[in-house]
Amino acid sequence: MKRLALIASAAILAAAGPALAEDWDFMLTNHTGKLIEKIEVAPTGSGNWAANKFDPELNKDGKVKPGGKTTVHFDKAASACKFDVRATFEDKTNAVWPNINLCDNSYVTVAFTGEKPTFKAN
């Protein structure tokens, strides 16, 4: 009986502990007109970039062709919903799409309007 109480107490303490990051993902569509070589995600304004944890069996090199799609996998803190997405292109330039709500949106299309990065999320 004491062992059962100890196990229950440990479970309650574990649940009350700090929130840990959880695996999260969204579908990214590339309408930039450029080949994306690398995708990174950071909580909005933090600059703490984490690379896409792509599945090598589905996308062998992690690149996204113009018009192509990929699933972006990242660790999301339990309290964060708004993220910046950064793409590095084949020509080694990069662009940032800020303040995307990835809690409410599973599909993000990145593009440019002129030279300005724009996105649609749903």
Question: Cα separation of 87 and 98, whole Å?
Answer: 12
Question: Cα separation of 16 and 105, whole Å?
Answer: 28
Q: Is residue 47 assigned to a domain? A: yes
Helix (H, G, I), strand (E, B) or coil at 8: helix
Backbone angles phi, psi at 35, to 5 degrees: -75, 125
List the chain pLDDT tens, one digit each, 122 residues. Answer: 555 444 444 444 344 334 456 788 999 999 999 999 999 999 999 999 998 886 666 656 779 999 999 999 988 877 889 999 999 999 999 999 999 999 999 999 999 999 999 999 99
Number of structural domains, the chain? Answer: 1
Backbone angles phi, psi at 106, to 5 degrees: -105, -10
Token pair for 65: 């062709």
Q: Is residue 12 assigned to a domain? A: no
CATH number of the domain to which 87 belongs: 2.60.40.2890
Token pair for 49: 């970039």
Range of the domain at 88: 20-121
Prediction pTM value: 0.78
